[in-house]
A and B are shown apart, each in its own frame.
Chain A
Amino acid sequence: MGEESKVVLHGMWSSPFVKRVELAMKIKGIPFEYVEEELSNKSPLILKYNPVHKKVPILVHNGKPVCESLLILEYIDETWPSGPQLLPKDPYQRAKVRFWAAYIQQLLTSMARLFNDGKEAQGKALEEVHEKLRNLEDGVKEFYFPEGSISPDHVLAEKLGILDIMMSATLGPFKAHEEAFNVKILDPEKNPLIFSWVQALIQLPVVKQTAPPHDKYLGLLQFLKQSGFKF
């Protein structure tokens, strides 16, 4: 598999959705070309490859476009089966991973609502984010971290899966989010497991390489906040 294989990822440096795909490609060790897109000035290729949503990420494999980050992750795992397994083989475990991947997606949506809300509404939006983090903490604990804590050899580059990828992309830049929006999202006391999971992930070289540079990202968030951008 993957002899004469041309892979192009269309993305945006600041998009957590794109970061998921970049990470997956790097974890799997699949060579790819990266094309930076501007969403304010969409290239004809984006409109051609994703006419329905006109968004990135788009993974173009031998000319065929795959859209939507979670679908791309599954596609990557099925197309390049060697290397780290992004999804487990067992159907029940796969179902659990899919469920929690979708839940982390909902967490990101709640975070976007939090970023959009002015000071007044922030209380409710923040409570929603914290509730989701609590649910995530409880749900993932039993299934992903049965020892109840992060063991040092769990979070290894070779063993990363979809949930690790989702967490890295979504919560990896949490410090920039907290600073830009003046909120406390990730509290080591309220979410000890998630906090240590994220900390372990952001130390990994592959995650560090892929993460948006903190200052640049913070600058962008602040700029978008000023201009009333809807996340």
Chain B
Amino acid sequence: MAEEVKLFRTWSSRYSLRIVWALKLKGIEYETIFEDLTNKSPSLLQYNPTHGKVPVLVHDGKPVCESLVILEYVDETWKHNPLLPQDPYEKSMARFWANFGDDKLMKSISQLFIAHEKDQDVAAVAALENLKIVEEQLKGKKFFHGETIGYLDLAFGWIANLVSILEEIMSLKLVDGERFPHLSSWIQHFIDAPVIRDCWPPRDKMIIKYQVMREKYLAAATPK
């Protein structure tokens, strides 16, 4: 019996990209449903009534929500080409770093992105500190788990794309080759990987989207 796999995503969602990559790595055929989050489909609201967010993976009619939860589901359901380490301790470390990426790192980079010029220096300190922590994790490794792409590369994948976009918009360099040799090298390997390469959202469209977003935040911030 053929399996039915659907992925609800948006064109730009970094979280959805994780699942696109995972399904590609596992060689799983699926149908893509692109959502407009300003006008959510009834299906999306039915499959994710709590948050109404993407990505949602629907496997034979059963919805799975939250990108990191979906990654584990994909890995447990299709066991070939494993994404996560088998050893419980290594697995817990992988999950720890994925959480760090989403909670601390992403937040600090977002804060920098929406900071007014006078607050940028302080915001940059936090972002750079967190990036340094990731840099340490990559020492002596091509990808986070070694020679091949795995869970943490997918979890951190957004760095390889979004950071340079934010750098261009803000005219600043966050991840430079001198301060972040391992992270810079990882970015290059990841961007060029065959499975990853063709999935990036159109860069010009991303620049416009994030530029508009930044302007909105800067305009909305209360003047002191």
Contacts and interface: CB of A to CB of B under 8 A. Distances in A.
Tell me whether A and B are bound partners.
yes
B69 A64 contact: no
Given A95-B72, A98-B69, A66 B100 contact: no
Interface in B3-37: none
Nearest to A78: B88
Interface residues of B, number: 23
B76 interface: yes
Q: Is the interface of B mostly helix, strand, loop or mixed?
A: helix
Contact of A92 (B62, B91, B96, B133): B62
Interface string B50-85: 100000000100101110011011001100000000
A98 to B, nearest CB: 5
A61 B49 CA distance: 39
A139 B49 CA distance: 9
A72 B64 contact: no
Interface string A61-103: 1001011100110110011000000000001101100110011
Contacts of B64: 92, 95, 99
B96 A99 contact: no
Contacts of B88: 75, 78-79
Nearest to A77: B88
Contact of A67 (B62, B66, B77, B96): B96
A134 B96 CA distance: 29
Interface string A28-72: 000000000000000000000000100000000100101110011
Contacts of A71: 92, 95-96, 99
Nearest to A103: B50
A68 B65 CA distance: 21
Q: What 4 A-B pairs have minimum CB-CB distances, sorted nearest first?
A: A91-B76, A78-B88, A95-B73, A75-B92
Interface of A: 52, 61, 64, 66-68, 71-72, 74-75, 78-79, 91-92, 94-95, 98-99, 102-103, 135, 138-139
24 contacts: A61-B89, A64-B89, A66-B89, A67-B96, A68-B95, A71-B96, A71-B99, A72-B92, A75-B89, A75-B92, A78-B88, A79-B88, A92-B62, A92-B64, A92-B73, A95-B64, A95-B69, A95-B70, A98-B66, A98-B69, A98-B72, A99-B64, A99-B66, A102-B66
Interface of B: 49-50, 59, 62, 64-66, 69-70, 72-73, 76-77, 88-89, 91-92, 95-96, 99-100, 104, 133
